[in-house]
């Protein structure tokens, strides 16, 4: 458009020139904002044909050439140039100057289109590189997160196994030594005849019994804290061969031992009930930790024999035991017998 404005050095600025300039501006904007290729092509052809009737339109023919080149309409580029050649031969009074002027403008449009194509290619390559880089960074961050979680879980599992090992070592070694020492002291108390030795033996017996109680409590605490809820549930699911089990585990690592034993016991009893009372073909087991509570949901798609919806929460020793465990932890225990059997347990976290 700027190049076409140089034609004012050769022609007078009249209504046709201004009208041609405005139509060229409209055509240039349409080439950028109209998405349909057919509309752009039709506008370019209309502008080219208008140049045969309005004498000042051909000065802005490079705009048409640029738009046709952008749309890969090479046939229309040749058509536009031939129409302009016809115009300059049969209509224009200054054939050679104006023909050279428009031809150079068309070559300028070709050069500009090539530069634009290169720029758009580089821009698309840059954006694609940015997207690939973001995707790689996202994948790397996800992998790093997964590796950190796996590392944390491996450390947590190793810690629990070490606690179990220590508990077994204390129980098997120290516990047996203390038990033998207590038996020996009891034998000494029985056969002792000297009154002066009796208080010493009594003190020794009390000390050994206190040590035995302390060791027993420590072993129990270590064993309780070393229970891995996720591994325990996964082992239960792995050993359950009656039907497929879909496990969804979303719990933290620092769980109270009461929650662990409660969920393990309920899961064992529920899977046992599926085998005894149901013809299920699929079981869904969900364990999830929320900000304020722990959730356990066990659902099967089978029919429950000998149990109605009114009796499901009151009959059966297994269900009663589940209720008692949950009630002890101030939780809620619900069952539903609609299209299968569902156990829903929620236990609030201690504030």
Residue with tokens 């089990």: 245
Domain ranges within the chain, ordered by starting residue? 2-93, 151-225, 229-348
- pTM of the model as a whole: 0.46
pLDDT digits (tens, 9 = 90+) for 187-239: 877 787 777 777 777 787 778 778 777 777 666 665 555 567 788 888 888 88
- 229-348 classified as CATH 2.40.128.130: no
d(Cα 77, Cα 210) in Å, to the nearest integer? 104
pLDDT digits (tens, 9 = 90+) for 190-200: 787 777 777 77
pLDDT digits (tens, 9 = 90+) for 259-287: 888 888 888 888 888 888 878 888 889 98
Beta strands 283-289 and 245-250 are: parallel
Three-state secondary structure call for residue 285: strand
Three-state secondary structure call for residue 109: helix
Strand positions, DSSP E, 198-324: 245-250, 283-289, 293-300
What size, in residues, is the chain?
Answer: 351
Specify whether the CB–CB gap between 262 and 325 falls below 8 A.
yes
Task: Give the Å distances, CA to CA, from 302 to 51, 132, 201, 279, 312.
Answer: 81, 48, 65, 5, 14
d(Cα 138, Cα 143) in Å, to the nearest integer? 9
């Amino acid at each position: 458009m700027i190049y076409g404005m140089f034609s004012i050095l050769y022609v007078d600025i009249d209504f046709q020139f201004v009208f041609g300039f405005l139509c060229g501006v409209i055509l240039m904007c349409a080439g950028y904002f109209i998405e349909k290729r057919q509309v752009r092509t039709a506008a370019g052809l209309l502008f080219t044909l208008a140049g045969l009737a309005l004498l000042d339109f051909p000065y802005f023919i490079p705009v048409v050439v640029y738009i046709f080149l952008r749309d890969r309409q090479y046939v229309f580029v040749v058509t536009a140039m031939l129409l302009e050649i016809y115009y300059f031969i049969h209509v224009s009074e200054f054939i050679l100057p104006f023909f050279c002027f428009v031809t150079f403008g068309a070559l300028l449009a070709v050069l500009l289109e090539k530069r634009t194509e290169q720029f758009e290619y580089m821009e698309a390559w840059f954006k694609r590189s940015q997207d690939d880089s973001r995707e790689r960074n996202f994948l790397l961050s996800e992998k790093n997160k997964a590796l950190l979680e796996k590392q944390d879980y491996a450390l947590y599992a190793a810690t629990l196994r070490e606690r179990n090992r220590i508990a077994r070592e204390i129980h098997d070694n120290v516990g047996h030594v203390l038990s033998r020492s207590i038996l020996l002291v009891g034998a000494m108390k029985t056969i002792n005849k000297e009154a002066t030795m009796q208080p010493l033996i009594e003190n020794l017996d009390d000390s050994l019994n206190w040590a035995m109680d302390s060791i027993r409590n420590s072993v129990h605490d270590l064993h309780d804290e070393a229970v891995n809820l996720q591994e325990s549930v996964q082992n239960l699911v792995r050993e359950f061969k009656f039907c497929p089990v879909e496990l969804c585990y979303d719990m933290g690592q620092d769980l109270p031992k009461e929650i662990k034993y409660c969920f393990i016991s309920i899961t064992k009893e529920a899977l046992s009930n599926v085998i005894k009372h149901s013809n299920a073909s699929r079981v869904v087991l969900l364990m999830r930790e929320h900000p304020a509570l722990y959730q356990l949901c066990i659902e099967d798609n089978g029919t429950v024999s000998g149990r109605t919806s009114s009796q499901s929460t009151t009959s059966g020793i297994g269900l009663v035991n589940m209720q008692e465990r949950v009630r002890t932890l101030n939780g809620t225990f619900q069952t539903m017998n609609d299209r299968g059997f569902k156990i829903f347990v929620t236990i609030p976290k201690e504030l």
